[in-house]
């Protein structure tokens, strides 16, 4: 008779898989994300993902990885010309195709600009016109140290692009994510939230001005605030989505050699000025870790099968989950390198350090503040909320608002002219081919 405590063959098999994948992700810290994905089968076959800011930097690498894993990827981009160029570059490298057929048909650019709020519900409408489900939403796009500017509805551009635009997009897509569960939302935060531990920028939050309308610049304080807002709202979203099958996972890329510094205001901000001067002397010098490793945390969060149910399941899944629940009031996961050690442990869990992230009441207030901003923006833009069966738009259970444009705005051109809504509901993309529904798994 076998000992009831003896490990089974399945235990050893699972343990061996854990060792192999853990080593692969560690090697990826030095050799790039392809090293880690080499040990996985196509995990996202028949799955659909949206990646914001998919045409450059971390978003571009994330898009390549998800496409390689078999997903249909919606490239949510501000510039459709840049999206078309990125799409051609992705398809030109056969490594990105993966084993799933028709990579060209699985890569669909759609227009959205998080500084122009009217494009957000228009993007959602264009996505719905494709008839595709949604399994993964990667809220990657963002700005940093750009010239100061007020955008839609008086928002400061950093708060608008990094936090509110993605918060609204997520609310509009929650029903899609629930319908396709198990699914997940990946939120991009930053090591800048760490400044709060030092008493910088977020010692007090501007509760009366979550739009950032009174901020005098678009520098480090708006950036730090936006990334702190993301973590706080994500914690509350994870709590509200428990039991829904939708996981909420936050990540940060460390200090990555992305494209943000190419668009920053070197005259207004010392940090971007310093980088520009250093690169002028040493043009080949990277600013932080390359995007092939900086994107590891978001790629891991988007595809890792072991994360399924890590925040949406009500039942605890072990000691780490229990500790997370005790600290966060919900098992919100946060992945990325240690703040002081780059290029290491990009796919490993860590703790957020800003004290606001552990204030449950403040996180609820931040989430509710975001919902109130949605209501205000919809009213200011003349948008209407489409009532859903069984309830309203935004509610306590996390159901998102279904905003629709006023009559006339939803017809004809969607985006900037490169994506048009055709009769019959299909969306034509930059190459002129309509999006094809993904067969059921």
Structure token pair of residue 417 = 């002219």
261-266 contacts: CB < 8 A, separation 24 or more?
Answer: 261/144, 261/145, 261/287, 263/143, 263/146, 264/144, 264/145, 264/146, 265/145, 265/146, 265/147, 265/148, 265/218
Catalytic entry in 223, 229, 300, 334? 223
| 223 is annotated as an active-site residue | yes
Structure token pair of residue 402 = 């279904």
3 state SS of 167: helix
Structure token pair of residue 235 = 């914690």
Q: How far apart are CA 146 and CA 167, in angstroms?
A: 21
Is residue 129 exposed (0-12), middle (13-18) or buried (19+ Cβ within 10 Å)? Answer: buried
Which of 429, 435, 433, 427 is CA-nearest to residue 80? 429
Length of the chain: 441
Q: Give the residue carrying structure tokens 């390549």.
A: 64
Looking at the annotation, which residues are catalytic? 223
């Amino acid at each position: 008779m076998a000992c009831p405590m003896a490990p089974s063959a399945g235990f050893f098999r699972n343990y061996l898989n854990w060792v192999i994948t853990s080593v692969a992700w560690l090697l990826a810290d030095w050799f790039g994300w392809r090293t880690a994905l080499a040990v996985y089968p196509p995990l996202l076959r028949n799955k659909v993902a949206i990646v914001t800011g998919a045409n450059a930097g971390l978003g571009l690498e994330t898009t390549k990885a998800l496409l390689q894993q078999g997903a249909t990827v919606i490239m949510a981009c501000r510039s459709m010309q840049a999206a078309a160029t990125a799409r051609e570059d992705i398809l030109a490298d056969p490594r990105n195709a993966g084993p799933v057929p028709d990579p060209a048909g699985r890569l669909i650019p759609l227009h959205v600009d998080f500084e122009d709020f009217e494009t957000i519900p228009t993007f959602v409408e264009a996505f719905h016109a494709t008839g595709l489900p949604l399994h993964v939403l990667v809220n990657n796009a963002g700005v940093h140290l750009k010239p100061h500017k007020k955008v839609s509805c008086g928002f400061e551009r950093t708060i608008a692009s990094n936090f509110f635009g993605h918060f609204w997009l997520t609310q509009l897509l929650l029903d899609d994510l629930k319908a396709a569960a198990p699914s997940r939302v990946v939120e991009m935060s930053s090591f800048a939230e760490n400044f709060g531990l030092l008493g910088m920028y977020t010692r007090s939050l501007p509760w009366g001005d979550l739009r950032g309308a009174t901020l005098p610049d678009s520098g480090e304080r708006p950036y730090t605030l936006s990334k702190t807002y993301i973590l706080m709202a994500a914690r509350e979203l994870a709590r509200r989505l428990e039991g829904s099958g939708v996981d909420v996972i936050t990540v940060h890329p460390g200090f990555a050699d992305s494209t943000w510094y190419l668009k920053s205001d070197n005259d207004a901000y010392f940090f971007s000025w310093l980088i520009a001067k250093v690169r002028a002397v040493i043009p080949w010098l990277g600013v932080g870790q390359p995007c092939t490793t900086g994107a590891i945390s978001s790629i891991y969060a988007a595809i890792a099968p072991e994360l399924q149910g890590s925040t949406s399941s009500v039942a605890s899944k072990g000691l780490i989950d229990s500790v997370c629940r005790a600290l966060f009031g919900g098992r919100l996961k946060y992945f990325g390198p240690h703040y002081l050690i780059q290029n290491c442990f990009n796919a490993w869990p860590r703790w957020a350090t800003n004290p606001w992230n552990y204030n449950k009441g403040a996180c609820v207030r931040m989430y509710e503040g975001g919902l109130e901003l949605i209501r205000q923006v919809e009213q200011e833009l003349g948008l209407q909320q489409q009532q859903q069966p069984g309830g309203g738009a935004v509610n306590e259970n996390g159901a998102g608002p279904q905003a629709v444009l006023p009559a006339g705005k939803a017809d004809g051109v969607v985006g900037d002219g490169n994506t048009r809504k055709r009769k019959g509901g299909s969306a034509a993309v930059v190459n002129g081919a309509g999006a094809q529904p993904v067969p059921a798994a």
